[in-house]
Amino acid sequence: MNNMNFLLDGMSVQNLTEPVYIMLKAPLYYYAGKKLLPVVWDDTLNKSGGWTSDGCYLRNVLNNLIIFHCNRLGYYGLLQDTSTLDYDGNR
């Protein structure tokens, strides 16, 4: 299996005492009132990897930017349920 954990001196970098802060531009449908979920990629989930919100927390929204923090290094993203929106972004 391709291990995608971030390693430092051969050790996975997680459970940090000081979190990593991530700032991403707000997605197109953010203002539609749907909750955002900050996530980090975990290559151990489901044998092939998946997104997890464990250790990631939404911190602030500032000037169209979403700020969140996680307790480990990795690949970060924001998940949002858009199933109730049509292709034009309307409810």
Q: What is the pLDDT of residues 27-62, one digit of tens each?
A: 666 555 667 899 999 888 888 899 999 999 999 888
Q: Please say whether the beta carbons of 20 and 33 come within 8 A.
A: no
H or E element that contains 22:
strand 20-25
pTM of the model: 0.72
> In this structure, what are the phi and psi dihedrals at residue 39, rounded to the nearest 5 degrees?
-140, 160
Find all residues with CB under 8 Å of 50, minimum gap 6, and list them.
41, 42
Q: What is the pairing mode between strands 11-12 and 7-8?
A: antiparallel
pLDDT of 89 higher than 60 = no
**Three-class secondary structure of residue 4 per DSSP:** coil
